[in-house]
Amino acid sequence: MAISELKDLLPPEAIEAMTKRGIDKLTPPQELAIKHGLLEGKNLVVAAPTASGKTLIAEMAMLRSVIWDRKKAVYIAPMRALVSEKYEEFKEAYPFLKIAMSIGDLDSLDPWLDKYDILFVSTEKFDSLIRHGINWLDAIGCVIFDEVHMLNESGRGPTLEILITRLKRVSRRAQLVALSATVGNADDIAKWLGAELIESDYRPVLLEKGIVLGDRIYYEDREDELHGTHKIPEIRISQDTIERKKQLLIFYSTKRNTEAGAEKIAPVVASYLTTQDREKLKEVAAKILGALSKPTTQCEKLAKSVLNGTAFHHSGLVNSQRHAVEDAFRAGQLKVICSTTTLGLGVNLPAHTVLVRDTTRYSEGEGAEKMSVNEVTQLFGRAGRPKYDKIGRALLIARSKGDIMDIYARYINGELEPVSSKLGMLPVLRTHILAFIASDFLRSAESILDFLKGTFYGYEYANSREMKVLTQEILDELLKWGFVEKKGSIYNATKIGARVSELYVDPLSAKWIIDTLPKVADEIGNLFMITNTVEMRPYVKATEDAEARFFEYERVAQGSVNYEADGMMYYDPVKPFSTAMMLNDWISEETEPEVVVKYGTTPGALYSKINNADWMLYASMELGKLMRLNTTKLLELRVRIRYGIRKELMDLTRLEQVGRVRARLMYNSGIKKVADLRKPGSEEALRVLFGKEIAKRIMEQVSGVD
């Protein structure tokens, strides 16, 4: 079906914008979606491979809603990176529409969003907006849920499930379109949503799936010999891919394995680089080394691999490093990326060949476990680039000939597993039930239970007895903690309970903070208060120093909250205390490399903890205000955590361009406060320290700072 045939179904400006992008014909899934009522407002579940055109299906529904129906459209995805990527694509494609993105502050109503036609938001952000009482839910005409198979994920899935169920209730006229590449029971999700199901195996790039053993790839109908000479499979596959003038993504089970893999592969890949490649890669390596005030060993290791045309990619990198690696791969400068499975979700980073090197992973709680068919299929979806390839390759490695048939049976010919709800857990339900009550959405045990029957969990498990027991247990707990009050059969949120819900923290964490705030007076005690929360998991390893000092704070740890009894997992209070000591070292101005080595963490994990600590300090301040406590020390800690500084540098970091390193240099040279910059000779002193341009930018601010 040609795009031009949709002139009676789509606004002309939408058709014109699509044509300008070179879209003149619908793919089979897109055509099926049209035939099943996409442009008539029907709810749809679309299950189709990566690159089959699911995004355009979402675009068509959103554009019709906004332009012809004069209703808002909302695009919701579980990962911030994916939200950001789709927002940028849409903004470029449809400049005539008012498009906004909101993925940040979870304690904000963001009233400015009311002025926009199309909103791109993360799952948690939209859930937070509803908790804060947005007044434009009735104005929504279309909601897109991307990566709906994330219902199966214990971390993000429950919030997504609650959000879908709530929108089904409060925005009954809104069209719901759910998208996924890997769903074993898409028909169940469609029935739950009251939606038409579109299933398709169409892929614009043919995907060949094979098993590598020795120097050969075993496909279902043939064998191919690999180019190259190396005996290590991933290196041999790298040689073969590069000799075909293509690029390769290799997926590993751990961050450590990605780094070891890149280090091992890089020297071989280097031999294929041109002079032009090397010059461009020097710039990428420089960005990676300059991402932190002082490069860590990991930074140096990554930069060295990049210079050789290979990179590793995982959550331990800081954002600027991840973006540098992704951009260099898209530009064809990097030939191989060794990544954890997180790169299989979110950002669009396809390659000609994908190798899933590890299909077994290890976790502290579960031990060794096999990856699911869904996960491997999701990773395979990154193989084959529509603009460059006619065929993509998705490969696994066998250790022996006997392994080949087993791997085929499990991952290539095996059926996708069904997606199942992860909602029926105490910690997950607790925060949502408080939110129901605090927002006056549901205020009785009966209405809450009725709502939960409408969730995917309720659809899967028709027997609601267990859910009823769990619901009452949570309500009793919230009553005991003082977050809700009960009059007859009706529950109302207390002032502090309503604030806990708005702050988007787990009530268990809030209870711990409320109990602990009056007990602590020093910095480490306050840091331990915020690190010993659900939101700060996973904790860093317990160091010997933390073991030795913990006895001083053991009284604080023996509060009313027992994580182990709550069923979270094995709870060792020394680990959150060690995390508190790490943050204390950070605000004592230890460098990133020193902190990373001492606590066995990574720069990315360190900055993630810093961001979470900033949020939990803010939440603690807000709760402290309701308790009429002095929160000055928490405010100071928040500033110091944000910049990684001792107390004496707080005044200087009010200036833009001045972070922990520049502030310390200024302080040590005699510029101890902003007021000191008004003294004669200050600009010259700054020029000596930072150069003419930076000195000028700093001095321009001085008159505006009290």
Nearest by Cα to 423 from 221, 158, 229: 158
Nearest by Cα to 530 from 548, 550, 506, 551: 506
Placement of tokens 């925060």 in the chain: 431
Is residue 558 very low, low, confident or very high in pLDDT (cuts 50, 70, 90)? low
- Cβ atoms within 10 Å of 95's Cβ, excluding its own: 9
- 3-state DSSP assignment of residue 143: strand
Measured CA to CA, the distance from residue 37 to residue 176 in angstroms comes to: 12
Domain ranges of the chain: 3-199, 206-412, 426-501, 505-644, 649-702
Token readout for 544 is 């010997």
This prediction has a pTM of 0.90
Average the pLDDT over 196-200 and give the result.
96
pLDDT of 42 reads: 96
Is residue 609 very low, low, confident or very high in pLDDT (cuts 50, 70, 90)? very high
Q: Mind listing the pLDDT tens digit for each residue in 404-414?
A: 999 999 999 99
Q: 554 pLDDT exceeds 60?
A: yes
Q: To the nearest whole percent, how much of the chain has pLDDT over 90?
A: 83
List Cβ neighbours of 93 (8 Å cut-off, separation of 6 or more). 17, 18, 21, 59
Measured CA to CA, the distance from residue 393 to residue 655 in angstroms comes to: 52
What's 369-422 look like in SS3?
Answer: EECCHHHHHHHHCCECCCCCCCEEEEEEECCCHHHHHHHHHHHHCCCCCCCCCC
Q: Mind listing the pLDDT tens digit for each residue in 208-229?
A: 999 999 999 999 889 999 999 9
List Cβ neighbours of 166 (8 Å cut-off, separation of 6 or more). 130, 441, 451
Average the pLDDT over 82-111 and give the result.
91
Measured CA to CA, the distance from residue 132 to residue 438 in angstroms comes to: 9
Superfamily of chain region 3-199: P-loop containing nucleotide triphosphate hydrolases (3.40.50.300)
Token readout for 470 is 């769990």
Give the HSE-up count for residue 250: Cα atoms under 13 Å, Cβ half-sphere.
31
Measured CA to CA, the distance from residue 213 to residue 203 in angstroms comes to: 27
- Cβ atoms within 10 Å of 364's Cβ, excluding its own: 8
Is residue 350 very low, low, confident or very high in pLDDT (cuts 50, 70, 90)? confident
Is residue 344 very low, low, confident or very high in pLDDT (cuts 50, 70, 90)? confident
pLDDT of 403 reads: 93
Between 3.40.50.2300, 1.20.1250.20, 3.30.230.10, 1.10.3380.20, what CATH number should domain 505-644 receive? 1.10.3380.20
Q: 415 pLDDT exceeds 50?
A: yes
Q: Mind listing the pLDDT tens digit for each residue in 482-518?
A: 999 999 999 999 999 999 999 999 999 999 999 999 9
Task: Work out the mean pLDDT of the chain and round it to a whole number.
Answer: 92
Based on its alpha-carbon atoms, the radius of gyration of the chain, rounded to whole angstroms, reads 27
List Cβ neighbours of 103 (8 Å cut-off, separation of 6 or more). 80, 83, 84, 120, 121, 122, 125
390 or 551, which is more confident? 390
Give the CATH number of domain 649-702.
1.10.150.20
pLDDT of 364 reads: 57
Average the pLDDT over 432-450 and give the result.
95
Query: In Å, how far are 175, 272, 304, 637 from 283, measured between CA atoms?
Result: 46, 18, 12, 37
Measured CA to CA, the distance from residue 142 to residue 32 in angstroms comes to: 19
pLDDT of 367 reads: 67
Q: 681 pLDDT exceeds 50?
A: yes
Q: Mind listing the pLDDT tens digit for each residue in 617-637?
A: 999 999 999 999 999 999 999
What's 350-372 look like in SS3?
Answer: CECEEEECCCEEEECCCEEEECC
Query: In Å, how far are 13, 134, 281, 295, 689 from 286, measured between CA atoms?
Result: 43, 44, 8, 11, 22
381 class by beta-carbon count within 10 Å (0-12 exposed, 13-18 middle, 19+ buried): buried
pLDDT of 200 reads: 95
List Cβ neighbours of 155 (8 Å cut-off, separation of 6 or more). none
Is residue 596 very low, low, confident or very high in pLDDT (cuts 50, 70, 90)? very high
- 3-state DSSP assignment of residue 643: helix
List Cβ neighbours of 80 (8 Å cut-off, separation of 6 or more). 103, 122
Strand partners, 99: 118
In 5-41, which positions are buried (b, 16+ CB within 10 angstroms) versus exposed (e)? ebeeebbeebbebbeeeebeebbbbbbbbbeeebbee
pLDDT of 705 reads: 67
pLDDT of 126 reads: 95
Placement of tokens 């529409």 in the chain: 97
pLDDT of 563 reads: 47
Q: 462 pLDDT exceeds 90?
A: no
| Sign of the alpha-carbon dihedral angle for 34, 39, 40, 46 | positive
Write the single-letter amino acid at 95: P
In 637-652, which positions are buried (b, 16+ CB within 10 angstroms) versus exposed (e)? bbbbbbbbbeeebbbb
pLDDT of 560 reads: 42
Query: In Å, how far are 176, 179, 390 from 73, measured between CA atoms?
Result: 10, 15, 34
Cis bond leading into 593, ω under 30°? no
pLDDT of 221 reads: 87
Measured CA to CA, the distance from residue 291 to residue 28 in angstroms comes to: 44
pLDDT of 570 reads: 53
466 or 161, which is more confident? 161
Q: 564 pLDDT exceeds 70?
A: no
Write the single-letter amino acid at 295: P
Write the single-letter amino acid at 327: D
Q: Mind listing the pLDDT tens digit for each residue in 187-197?
A: 999 999 999 99
> CB–CB of 629/618 below 8 Å?
no
DSSP 8-state symbol, 598: H
Q: 565 pLDDT exceeds 70?
A: no
Q: 608 pLDDT exceeds 60?
A: yes
pLDDT of 463 reads: 67
Token readout for 144 is 């897109």
Is residue 151 very low, low, confident or very high in pLDDT (cuts 50, 70, 90)? very high
Nearest by Cα to 87 from 71, 104, 111, 69: 104
Least confident interval from 91-100, 105-114, 628-637, 669-678: 105-114
> CB–CB of 152/420 below 8 Å?
yes
Domain range 426-501, CATH class: mainly alpha
Q: 566 pLDDT exceeds 90?
A: no
Measured CA to CA, the distance from residue 136 to residue 133 in angstroms comes to: 9
- 3-state DSSP assignment of residue 194: coil
3-199 and 206-412 in the same fold: yes
Token readout for 513 is 């903070």
- Fold of the CATH domain 206-412: Rossmann fold (3.40.50)
Measured CA to CA, the distance from residue 507 to residue 489 in angstroms comes to: 22
In 61-81, which positions are buried (b, 16+ CB within 10 angstroms) versus exposed (e)? bbbbbbbeeebbbbbbbbbbb
